[in-house]
Amino acid sequence: MTEPSRGDTDLNAVPSKIPLILVTGAAGWLGSRLVAALAGKLPDGPETATASRIRALVPAGADARALLDADVDVVTGDLRDAEARTAFLRGAKGGLLVHLAGVIHPRKVAEFEQVNTTGTLRLIEEASAAGLARAVVMSSNSPIGCNPHPDHRFDETSPYAPYMGYGRSKHLMEVGLRARIENRDPLEIVIIRAPWFYGPNQPLRQTRFFRMVKNGGFPIVGSGLNRRSMGYVDDLVRGILLAAAHPDAAGEIFWLADETPYAMNEIVDTVRTVLRDDFGMPVKDKTVRVPGVIGDVATLADATLQALGIYNQQIHVLSEMNKTIACDVGKARRVLGHAPRIGLREGMRRSVEWCLANGGDI
């Protein structure tokens, strides 16, 4: 793909031009912040409250109370449910689809492709047939894999090297989407790659991360100099809205993350400092140091289990802990004008603040 030149976009005016905004994953961590932005309730803007209707596809059993309170039309079902997809897309001609739903930590490995690949591609095919105008689709760093060394950065031209089942499912998804783009599908498609994110509305796994750092039990695997790109949720939302609005975004891929990656040592030290200095918590300065080879063993174990159709979240997470997963966000800055506003320390402070305000046990 050739990189288009940057144009001007009035982000605040965009939703008023769209009759219907459809969001998958709206009850999740990132999706709930996106809906808040569309309702004009996201701290630090953008002010995007309009008369546009918002419809969300929400899995059975998910907590949709906040969506209902925000007058969001909720359709119950998941991407594998043809009837739910039909109901979700009904009357959506000219609308915008923001597709954030996906399986990250499944019960069975087969769910990766069932949901992330097949479910997504069927949704996009049906969205095109329904006459939607644009689809912004969330991918991941995983289709591109791990960087060869800590100073390396992926960009949008980096080759595919998918990491485990999740990476393969997102790779196949991207291949299918890019085929539609190359065949000039009337539905404009934008692919977003977002790495590890942080901020308010966090799930329990992020709260456990804070607790482990506080108690001195979070492991640094290897030297801790391996780097991770991360994104503050509200900055990611702003990037997604820019991708939804910008005329030059159609048919493109964008990495969205904080401006620079962080070493694992820095991430843990920042959380420790925030808990101690900003919230007065007793924090152990202890750091558990684990040989890097443990991460390599976990990688082998993860690959073996997944080949057998078995997914173990703890082993998978451990397998990534000594790896660099870092990207260059220059294209999003140049084309979309995207400029993350919240850095790691302030973002972690807001995340802890939200957690404590919502009964999180750190």
Structure confidence at residue 145 (pLDDT): 98
pLDDT digits (tens, 9 = 90+) for 206-264: 999 999 999 999 999 999 999 999 999 999 999 999 999 999 999 999 999 999 999 99
Question: Whole-number mean pLDDT of the chain?
Answer: 92
Residue 97 to residue 20: CA distance in whole angstroms: 9
Choose the weakest-confidence range: 60-64, 112-116, 296-300, 355-359.
60-64
pLDDT digits (tens, 9 = 90+) for 270-294: 999 999 999 999 999 888 999 999 9
Which residues, in sequence order, are bridge partners of residue 21? 54, 96
Residue with tokens 């060394």: 149
Is the bond preceding residue 59 a cis peptide, omega within 30 degrees?
Answer: no
pLDDT digits (tens, 9 = 90+) for 126-146: 999 999 999 999 999 999 999
Question: What pTM was estimated for this model as a whole?
Answer: 0.93
Q: Which residue has the higher pLDDT, 295 or 61?
A: 295
Structure confidence at residue 3 (pLDDT): 53
Q: At what angle do helices 264-273 and 344-357 cross, to 10 degrees?
A: 50
HEC readout, 87-99: HHHCCCCCCEEEE
Band the pLDDT of 51: cuts 50, 70, 90: very low
Structure confidence at residue 41 (pLDDT): 75
**CB-neighbour burial class of residue 338 (10 A; exposed 0-12, middle 13-18, buried 19+):** buried
Residue 94 to residue 326: CA distance in whole angstroms: 36
Residue 335 to residue 249: CA distance in whole angstroms: 8
Structure confidence at residue 47 (pLDDT): 46
Which residues, in sequence order, are bridge partners of residue 189? 135
Cα dihedral sign, 359-104-259-188: negative
The number of angstroms, rounded, from the C-alpha of 228 to the middle of its chain's C-alpha atoms is 14
Structure confidence at residue 66 (pLDDT): 84
Mean per-residue pLDDT for 70-94? 94
Domains and CATH numbers, the chain: 11-198+229-258+325-341 (3.40.50.720)
Range list of β-strands (E), 237-350: 253-255, 262-263, 288-290
Pairing of strands 227-228, 262-263: antiparallel
pLDDT digits (tens, 9 = 90+) for 19-47: 899 999 999 999 999 998 888 777 665 54
